[in-house]
Amino acid sequence: NTPTMSNPNAKVNIGTNSNPNTSQEGPSTGDGGDFGFFDSSQQLDEIERLDVAATDESMRKTPSWAALPQPSSKHGLNESMQSIPETSPDEQTRAKVTNLHLMAKEVGSLLDVMKDVIAMQRARRLDVLKQPNWMRRNWYITALGVPAFLFLCIRLSENGYGIQFIKFTASQIITFFKEHINEPVVAIFDELVKGSENISDRETRNIVVENLQLMIRSWLDENYPSMNEQERDFRAKSMDMSLIETKKAESLKTFYEINNVIRMSFIEAQFLKKEMMNALVALDDMQASNNMNMNLAAVTPAVFLIYACQRMLRFVRYALLKLGKSKEETYGSFQHGLLEMERLLVMRDNSSSYQTPMLRHDSVAGAGPAQQTRGGLRHDGIVLRSDDLGMMMLHIHELRTILWRDRRRFSSNDIRSVAEDLAELAGERGAVCVSQQIQIIARMSRTYAFLRVRNHG
């Protein structure tokens, strides 16, 4: 009984069975009429019940700080159709915020959760790029050093060789330290502060010289009274023994001048004593100079040994173990980064594929109205494009990382000045063109001493 184009008067039978292949007929009248039409009041009640259930489900899913508009009660199909205003479906289902503070709190908690999730994802992705541990990076040292160390420990632990070796090594180190560091350094310090030790008595020498001069003057006064006074003073002060030797040779011929011979012999003995005292003073001077040289020579092996140990430790630390970078390597890395920046800027300077801000009627990126002029004229220099600017910022970030990670290699003034120059290169102090950035790099190269250090590897 389905209505078709050939039978439009056919009746539709609606029952409780939802199977389209079956139909349920209502009660029949006596004249054979079919009353299979549905009851409109029952169907409207069913629709209203389903609508309320859907609304309750939406209310259960609505946050606590929002609420959906409540549906109005329906007394009949015609009244409900007349009372519902004509609104769009979005306006009918749009939620209203009832507690703004609670909504802000929930949004903040969601943002915190998102931040934690992003941090976890970043850590998970960076774990793949993490540097291997020290043993994996230096496997050859571990493979050779650990067995050799264990073998050495086993051999030294047998028959007490280890204790004997430790004692012998300690005694040799103490002896070397005493002979080549302690004693020479103390001797040099004493010689510089207290002065050198003298074997001879310089005051006694001066007394011997004065007595000899008096003895010669007295002898000249008695034996050569006719001699000029000035000549006698000169011979006495110069301790001239020529007249005494001549007179002694003549007096030995006769026995009567034996007293004069004995006197001249005492003068000669005093002269020999003076010469001996002079020799001792010369020995003191020579010993003082030789002591300084010998002490410096004794310290030299210790200095060479300390220098060799320092170079070996630097090689083991920086080359083999790779525990940080040396000062030369740090400066070389900074020079290399600055060279890459200069190479990029030189390649982009005076390039025909790059239009100036004046030609493309554009201002320098990030520049205010007061920063677009220089010397009363607008900037007409070439500026970097977005990709080149990104590469430039990567180089600047690399240099800043070197500067702050190895800041013990730089002085405080250099750190402050280099940070200011890098900020100017990045455009943080105002818009800059390529030519200005090249000038800033040239200024850095000629100003800072560590940029003039040659890197030898």
In the predicted structure, residue 68 carries a pLDDT above the cut 60: yes
User: Whole domain around residue 174: which residue ranges?
Assistant: 149-193
Task: Answer yes or no: is pLDDT of 300 > 80.
Answer: yes
Residue 72's pLDDT is what?
54
Q: How far apart are CA 214 and CA 220, in angstroms?
A: 10
Query: How far is it, in rounded angstroms, from Cα 215 to Cα 268?
Result: 10
pLDDT at 393: 93
- Angle CA(446)–CA(449)–CA(454) in degrees, nearest 5? 95
Residues 291 and 272 occupy one common structural domain:
yes
Q: Say if 112 falls within a structural domain.
A: no
* Structural domain includes residue 30: no
Residue with more model confidence, 376 or 318: 318
Domain final position from 294, 320, 346:
320
For 184-211, what is the mean pLDDT? 84
Average pLDDT value for residue range 146-173 = 85
Instruction: Specify the higher pLDDT residue, 1 or 344.
Output: 344
Tokens of 339: 């060279």
What pLDDT, in 10s, does the model give residues 223-279?
888 888 888 889 888 888 888 888 888 888 877 788 888 888 999 999 999 999 888
Domain annotation covers residue 173: yes
Q: How far is it, in rounded angstroms, from Cα 34 to Cα 3? A: 15
Whether the per-residue pLDDT at 5 is higher than 50: the answer is no
DSSP assignment string, 282-307? HHHHHHHHHHHHHHHHHHHHHHHHHH
d(CA 222, CA 396): 100
pLDDT tens-digit series, residues 113-135 = 999 999 999 888 888 888 788 78
Query: Within this chain, do residues 258 and 225 fall inside the same structural domain, yes or no?
Result: yes
Confidence check: pLDDT of 443 > 90: yes
Report if residue 6 sits inside a domain: no
Is the pLDDT at 358 greater than 50, yes or no?
no
455, two tokens: 């890197």
202 pLDDT band, cuts 50/70/90, is: confident
Verify that 39 and 63 share a domain, yes or no: yes
SS3 state of residue 380: coil
> In whole angstroms, what separates CA 328 from the centre of its chain?
13
Number of H helices, E strands in the chain: 16, 4
Most confident of 13-27, 91-105, 373-387: 91-105
298 or 66, higher pLDDT: 298
Structure tokens at 341: 């920046």
Say what the pLDDT of residue 173 is. 92
From 320, 343, 362, the end of a domain falls on 320
Length of the chain in residues, anyone?
457
Q: Is the pLDDT of residue 33 over 60?
A: no
Boundary (domain end) residue, out of 45, 63, 86? 86
Query: Is residue 248 situated within a structural domain?
Result: yes
- Average pLDDT over the chain reads 77
Residue 369: inside a domain: yes
For residue 283, is it within any domain? yes
Q: Which residue has tokens 């054979």?
A: 32
* pLDDT(21) > 70: no
- Domain tally for the chain? 4
The verdict on 331 and 444 lying in the same domain is yes
Residue 129 lies in a domain: no
Residue type at 426 in one-letter notation: A
Same domain, 256 and 346: no
For residue 177, give the 3-state DSSP assignment.
helix
CA gap 116, 34 in Å, rounded: 70
**Contact assessment for residue 276 and residue 195, using Cβ atoms and an 8 Å cutoff:** no
Q: What is the pLDDT of residues 361-417, one digit of tens each?
A: 344 444 444 444 433 334 456 888 888 999 999 999 999 999 999 989 999 999 999
Q: Which two tokens stand for residue 306?
A: 């300390």
Is 233 found in the same domain as 305? yes
Question: How far apart, in whole angstroms, are the C-alpha atoms of residue 49 and residue 316?
Answer: 84
Task: Copy the structure tokens of residue 157.
Answer: 């632990």
